[in-house]
DNA sequence: CGTTAATTTGAGACCATTCAATTTCGGTGG
DNA sequence: CCACCGAAATTGAATGGTCTCAAATTAACG
């Protein structure tokens, strides 16, 4: 009740694309509906025609697609403060599923209202475009990760990415990262099986790189983990 | 000499986002520099700060990244008429390499000039945003392809995608698709090795699905190839 | 035609998978 | 607070898809 639903979003966007008072105001005063969402629920379904975009207020979510044989590939992870489907602002039909990873709080914003903002405020248009461009850059890195790195490197890379994004969002406390992924979900994100993910995580632990239990990741040796994960943060486009 | 460099682009964008005469005119009259580019040349380099965006006039190109061990992953393929790095319009530093697949003709357009258009013409802003959104959707499908499909399916899927995109661009003649990829490049695009790509292509040929030699792809049984490739074209977002 | 790049083939090794069983963990109700 | 339950994590062993390495064949091109 204290602050508008979209205020944190305005702050985040403002860091990358400076917004005028007008623009900030216009964004914040967009009508947005808050909804709770249980664990593992679908937020957007592939093939669906949507009329809103969904902002993640609390809790993690992920995008995924199924292949013919029933296997699932997780395409990206999303942490609080991020849009999970801003691209649907322009794309009429969703090309993938979005699911909650835990119990979440969501803000639904009308697509047409958002589009209207882009017409009136070029900086907001830029901010939205940029948001989806960073998504795309992360997708590209995932293609590389899943296509050309071995299991250990793949997992280390994913952990590095998530850690850095959590840092940037200010959600880290005492070096402990929230990590609400089961090993099966981690496997679906890296293109591995759950069994092999398990064994590979054990290797990372034995190497003294991380501690990982359900919902809590601790990184003991950031430099070496980075190294093992062949990680370079350029693709996150933080530096402006 | 007959028509402006960007005229085909204006036509393509107009199909998805109707442009006014003004907008079309503004786009077409953007200063653009035409350049030839030899085979296998770098068009954009990872880490580079760019001042232009590059439109592919003739010939194929691809985006790629290297991993620590020196392996390469191709992230996307580009056919004539497409931008190869429109995202660099807003992202100051390129997060991946772009390379020509054959001798190509390119049009270089100033980033600031493009951005200026987005400020003045919302429809052009939409067209550009949409262009990058479709790129991102293709990236997502590639994550799935490389992450969760076996070799045969992966290759068939890639062939389906390329065939459809070439159809849409009107570049197909007598059911023969240009296909200027070596098997090694095909391997880098699917996350396989060249050897295994070779064997898998032979399987596709033996199944009577395709004929493929350097630079010429023929699809004998589209329905079955689609099926084998677990292909659904929704992610290309052609239907509007 | 000669020379290099690209494709093809063979055989063995390995990373990751599959299947199945066991153990641990987290949450819930008595 | 403990007993119980289902979900998640872990372990083992065997299989298999893909890789590696190397050599041979074919195609492309000046």
The DSSP annotation for B10-30 comes to HHHHHHHS---HHHHHHHHTS
| pLDDT beyond 60 at B186 | yes
Which pLDDT score is estimated for B213?
83
* C-alpha pair distances (Å), A71 with each of A64, B54, B76, B149: 10, 37, 23, 9
Which pLDDT score is estimated for A240?
60
What pTM, to 2 d.p., does this model score? 0.97
Radius of gyration of chain A (CA): 18
- Provide mean pLDDT across the span B203-223: 94
The alpha carbon of residue B226 is apart from the nearest alpha carbon of chain A, in Å, by 11
d(CA B5, CA B106) in angstroms, rounded, equals 9
Do the Cβ atoms of B34 and B106 come closer than 8 Å? yes
- Provide mean pLDDT across the span A207-212: 96
- Per cent of chain A over pLDDT 70 is 99
- Of A71-85, A128-142, B212-226, minimum mean pLDDT range: B212-226
pLDDT tens-digit map of B109-129: 999 999 999 999 999 999 999
- Asked if the Cβ–Cβ distance from B153 to A68 is below 8 Å, we say yes
Read off the pLDDT band of A173 (50, 70, 90). confident
Classified as helix, coil or strand, A78 is: strand
**B8 backbone φψ class: left, alpha, beta (φ>0; ψ -120 to 50):** alpha
**Residue A38: is it exposed, middle or buried by C-beta count within 10 angstroms (0-12/13-18/19+)?**
exposed
The alpha carbon of residue B157 is apart from the nearest alpha carbon of chain A, in Å, by 11
Among chain B residues, the shortest Cα distance to A235 is held by: B95
**Residue whose token pair is 């350049």:** B35
Which pLDDT score is estimated for A1?
55
| pLDDT beyond 70 at B240 | no
Which pLDDT score is estimated for A123?
96
Read off the pLDDT band of A150 (50, 70, 90). very high
- Nearest CB to A75: which of B96, B143, B234? B143
d(CA B148, CA A189) in angstroms, rounded, equals 10
- Provide mean pLDDT across the span B47-66: 97
Do the Cβ atoms of B96 and B52 come closer than 8 Å? no
User: Token pair of B77, please?
Assistant: 């393929």
Dihedral in degrees, nearest 10, Cα atoms A74, A75, A76, A82: -110
Beta bridge partners of B93: B49
- Provide mean pLDDT across the span B17-44: 97
Residues of A in contact with B141 (CB under 8 A): 65, 95
Buried b (16+ CB within 10 A) or exposed e, B33-46: eeeebeeeeebbeb
**A97 backbone φψ class: left, alpha, beta (φ>0; ψ -120 to 50):** beta
Read off the pLDDT band of B3 (50, 70, 90). confident
| pLDDT beyond 90 at A108 | yes
Residues of A in contact with B76 (CB under 8 A): 140
Which pLDDT score is estimated for A22?
96
d(CA B78, CA B68) in angstroms, rounded, equals 25
Helix ranges, B29-120 (H): 111-120
Which pLDDT score is estimated for A174?
85
pLDDT tens-digit map of B63-109: 999 999 999 999 999 999 999 999 999 999 999 999 999 999 999 99
Which pLDDT score is estimated for B1?
55
d(CA B148, CA A170) in angstroms, rounded, equals 33
**Residue A175: is it exposed, middle or buried by C-beta count within 10 angstroms (0-12/13-18/19+)?**
exposed
Measure CA to C1' and name the residue nearest D9. A198
Mean pLDDT, chain B, rounded, equals 96
Question: Percent helix, strand, coil in chain A (nearest 5)?
Answer: 45, 25, 30
Which nucleotides of chain D does any protein CB come within 7 A of? 7-13, 17-22, 27-28
Q: What are phi and psi of B26, to 5 degrees?
A: -60, -40
| pLDDT beyond 70 at A6 | yes
- Per cent of chain A over pLDDT 90 is 95
User: Token pair of A82, please?
Assistant: 């991020």
Classified as helix, coil or strand, B100 is: strand
Radius of gyration of chain B (CA): 18
Measure CA to C1' and name the residue nearest C25. A214
* C-alpha pair distances (Å), A126 with each of A123, A240, B167, B230: 5, 14, 32, 36
- Provide mean pLDDT across the span A150-174: 96
- Provide mean pLDDT across the span B147-154: 98
Span CA (A39) to C1' (D1), Å: 28
Residues of B in contact with A237 (CB under 8 A): 91, 93, 95
């Amino acid at each position: 009740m204290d602050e508008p639903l979209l205020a944190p979003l305005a702050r985040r966007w403002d860091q990358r694309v400076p917004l005028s008072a007008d623009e900030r105001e216009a964004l914040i005063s967009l009508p947005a509906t808050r909804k709770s969402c249980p664990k593992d629920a679908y937020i957007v379904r592939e093939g669906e025609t949507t009329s809103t975009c969904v902002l993640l207020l609390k809790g993690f979510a992920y995008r995924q697609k199924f292949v013919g044989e029933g296997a699932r590939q997780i395409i990206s992870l999303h942490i609080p403060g991020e849009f999970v489907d801003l691209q649907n602002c322009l794309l009429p039909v969703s090309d993938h599923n979005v699911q909650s990873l835990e119990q979440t709080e969501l803000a639904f914003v009308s697509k047409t209202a958002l589009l209207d903002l882009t017409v009136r405020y070029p900086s907001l248009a830029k901010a939205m475009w940029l948001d989806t461009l960073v998504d795309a850059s992360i997708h590209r890195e995932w293609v590389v990760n899943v296509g050309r790195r071995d299991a250990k490197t793949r997992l280390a890379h994913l952990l590095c990415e998530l850690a850095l994004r959590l840092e940037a969002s200010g959600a880290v406390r005492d070096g402990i990262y929230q990590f609400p992924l089961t090993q099966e979900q981690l496997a679906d994100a890296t293109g591995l099986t759950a069994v092999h993910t398990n064994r590979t995580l054990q290797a990372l632990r034995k190497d003294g790189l991380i501690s990982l239990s359900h919902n809590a990741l601790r990184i003991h040796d950031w430099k070496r983990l980075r190294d093992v994960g062949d990680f370079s943060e350029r693709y996150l486009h933080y530096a402006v």
